[in-house]
Chain A
Amino acid sequence: MSSQLSALYTELVIEHDKRPQHAGLRDPFDTEVHHVNPTCGDEITLRLHLTDDEQIEDLSYDAIGCAMSRASASIMADLLIGHSVEEMDPVRAHFEEVMRSRGRLEGDEDLIGDGIALLGAAKFPGRVKCVLMPWKAYQAALVEIRALEG
């Protein structure tokens, strides 16, 4: 097996793929979004529930896709739940920057936690989208909630 392949399917990725954290759609929620990757047909339905001061009370999801996208959703939910949107914004920004760096940037484990296990995908341009799709869904949900609250 090539070393790049083992860098991609790390133990943590496989663990999150097999036993996704916080999976399944739950109530209550403020908004629900549905994102699709039209190239491969991967889908995620994501529900976000915030408190009035934008603490992430719950984030639930149903993800259909490859191991990378499912693991990414699981790791993201683990990172976000119980924290404030503001607190998590640098985490999201750093994760996206590293994922888009084609492997040039190293990730800060203190910031992105298990997300570090997904960085092998940064070297495969075709897989970056898989990993970022749950985060794009989270951002879209955030935009919707803020618009609802006007």
Chain B
Amino acid sequence: MSASSREFDVEAIRSDFPILQRMLDPDTTMIYLDGGATSQRPRQVIDAEVAFLTQDNAAVKRGAHRMASAATDAYEGARERIADFLGAPSPDEIVFTKNATEALNLVAHSFGNGDSSTPARLRVTEGDEILVTEMEHHANLIPWQELARRTGARLRWVPLSEDFTLDLTDLGSLLTERTKVLALTHQSNVLGTVNPIAQLVEAARAVGALVVLDAAQSAPHMPFDVAELGVDFVALSGHKMLGPTGIGVLWGRYELLEAIPPFLTGGSMIETVTMERATFAEPPARFEAGTPPISQAVGLAAACDYLDTLGMEQVAAHEQALTLRALEGLAGIEDVRVIGPAASPERTGAVAFDVAGRHPHDVGQVLDSLGLQVRVGHHCAWPLHRKYGLHGTTRASFSVHTTAAEVDALIAGVAHTVDFFRSL
């Protein structure tokens, strides 16, 4: 949340990322344009994990020895740091999970496990409705499909429109008194579209629906504040925000976390246990069964430090400029169609495109031969691709370390790919 304390100098930033020195073969530089799948980590994040592992490593929240206490301090310190990064009122609202997928499953599972002590507004049952969107990543679709299947609730979705944004025309009939949950992504991992969260939160509030936000693609790329967004739950992944894999975050309003049952059960999440039954700890411990990802939490806190040092406003501005450059360049190539909205503040640096008559695997293969590391396929958003009559797309996604020259290399590479297949 702090203002940037360092000039946004891409070359200096690049020197923080050891992996960017890697060559793919002796004459091919690696151009990493797949931060949307997983981000690379700056030395500061790697060093923080190494420092923890070489100085403070122990199991957290158990044992009376000094190492246990050092490890617990590091883990809980990380929770405070992440709460601060997300604008959460309290660190007790931060639950560490394995990834954003687990965070979303936690919520979907807890809403529908039939526990009669759960307040009705947090319990999805037959006759209720769950509203998602047609642009969701499978991680924010399938948990809700399954919740609907288990409970007899009805799954509905806000459709996509031809301009690659949500079609809100029929929102009034989709979001009704029957809607218990609106679950949607902040930013499409394929289209780059940023959804109008304020408008949707207001509409959901009006009918008493809870809002679950998948922020895996947004929180790493723009100023992000849960209090300002006004949503009820937020899910994100460490490895998409310059942090480690194996750690994700669920943020939830404390009064909601307090009222829902646990998802995974076992050690560390209990209050008392007999052979017959157990009572559960208060949040966030209630949702952190078993030994948590401790060094990963420390690494994620360091990633928050790193991003805050750069300043999220500057990160967003940098990636916006690259997006504009990419969109303009790709628009000039015959047979290439960008699958996503035109450049605007409601559009970020995931740039997917279709090359007429060419399967994305073939496109990605030629781009890889030039060192360009892009994602191909349906990007875990199969319904979105089906909506636009596509079997997949090729996607470049930009990061803090992406340069204008790399975007130019992408544009030249795509032009070369089109020529290559034409020449065969």
Cβ–Cβ < 8 Å partners of A42 in chain B: 359, 361, 391
A interface majority secondary structure: mixed
The 8 A CB mask of A26-66 against B (1 = contact, 0 = none) is 00000000000001111100000000000000000000111
Q: Would you call B362 an interface residue if the criterion is a C-beta within 8 Å of the partner chain's C-beta atoms? A: yes
Binds A, one of B63-71, B219-227, B294-302, B377-385: B377-385
A interface footprint on B338-377 (CB within 8 Å = 1, 0 otherwise)? 0000000000000000000001111001100100000011
Within 8 A of A (CB), among B378-424: 378, 382, 385, 391-392, 420, 424
Q: Closest approach, in angstroms, between the C-beta of A137 and any C-beta of chain B?
A: 17
Chain B proximity of A91: nearest CB distance (Å): 25
Is A130 among interface residues, defined by CB-CB distance under 8 A? Answer: yes
The one of A11, A40, A65, A126 in contact with B378, judged by C-beta atoms closer than 8 angstroms, is: A40
> Shortest CB–CB separation between residue A71 and chain B, in angstroms?
11
- Which residues of A lie under 8 Å from residue B424 when comparing CB positions? 9, 11, 14
A68 at the interface (CB under 8 A from B): yes
B365 contacts A41, C-beta separation under 8 Å: no
- A64 near B391: Cβ-Cβ < 8 Å: yes
Contacting pair B382 A124 (CB below 8 A) = no
Residue in contact with A40 in the complex, picked from B360, B369, B420, CB distance below 8 Å: B360
> Which residue from A2, A4, A130 sits with its C-beta under 8 Å from B361?
A130
**Minimum distance in angstroms from A76 CB to a CB of chain B:** 18
A41 touches B420 (CB 8 A): no
Complex Cα distance A14/B359, Å? 13
Q: Are B362 and A41 in contact (CB under 8 A)?
A: no
Please indicate the chain A residues that have their CB under 8 angstroms from the CB of B366 in the complex. 5
A65's nearest neighbour on chain B, judged by CB, is B359
On chain B, the residues within 8 Å of A66 by CB distance are 359-362
Q: Which residues of A contact B391 (CB under 8 A)?
A: 41-43, 64-65
Task: Compute how far the CA of A67 lies from the CA of B376 in the bound complex, rounded to whole angstroms.
Answer: 14
Further contacts, 17 of them, CB under 8 A, given A65-B361, A68-B362:
A1-B420, A2-B28, A2-B369, A4-B369, A5-B365, A9-B420, A14-B424, A40-B392, A41-B377, A41-B382, A42-B359, A64-B391, A65-B391, A66-B359, A66-B361, A68-B361, A124-B365
- Interface, chain B (partner A; CB < 8 A): 28, 359-362, 365-366, 369, 376-378, 382, 385, 391-392, 420, 424
CA–CA, A5 to B359, complex, Å?
16
A118 within 8 A of B: no
Q: How many residues of A contact B (CB 8 A)?
A: 22
Q: Please name all residues of chain A whose beta carbon is closer than 8 Å to the beta carbon of B376 when the two chains form the complex.
A: 40
Contacts of B382 in A (CB 8 A): 41
For B363, give the chain A residue with the smallest CB separation. Answer: A66
- A127 is an interface residue with CB less than 8 A from chain B: yes
Task: Give bound CA distance, A4 to B424, whole Å.
Answer: 15
- Please give, as numbers and ranges, the residues of chain B lying within 8 Å of A2 by CB-CB distance: 28, 369
| Cross-chain contact of A127 among B361, B377, B385 (Cβ < 8 A) | B361
Chain A residues, Cβ within 8 Å of B362: 9, 66-68
Q: How far is the CB of B216 from chain A (nearest CB, A)?
A: 19
Q: Of residues 108 to 123 in A, which have CB atoms within 8 Å of B's CB atoms? A: none
Listed from nearest, the 7 A-B pairs whose CB atoms lie closest are A66-B361, A66-B359, A40-B377, A14-B424, A5-B369, A2-B369, A41-B378
Instruction: Give the nearest-CB partner of B424 in chain A.
Output: A14
Question: Is A127 touching B378 in the complex (CB atoms < 8 A)?
Answer: no
Would A1 and B369 be within 8 Å (CB), given that A14-B424, A40-B392 are in contact?
yes
Q: Does A81 contact B (CB under 8 A)?
A: no
User: In the assembled complex, how far is the CB of residue B366 from the closest CB belonging to chain A, in whole angstroms?
Assistant: 6
Interface centre among A40, A43, A68 (most CB of B within 10 A): A40
- What are the residues of chain A within 8 A of B361 when measuring CB–CB? 40, 42, 65-66, 68, 126-127, 130
In the bound complex, residues from chain A placing their C-beta under 8 Å from that of B360 are 40, 66
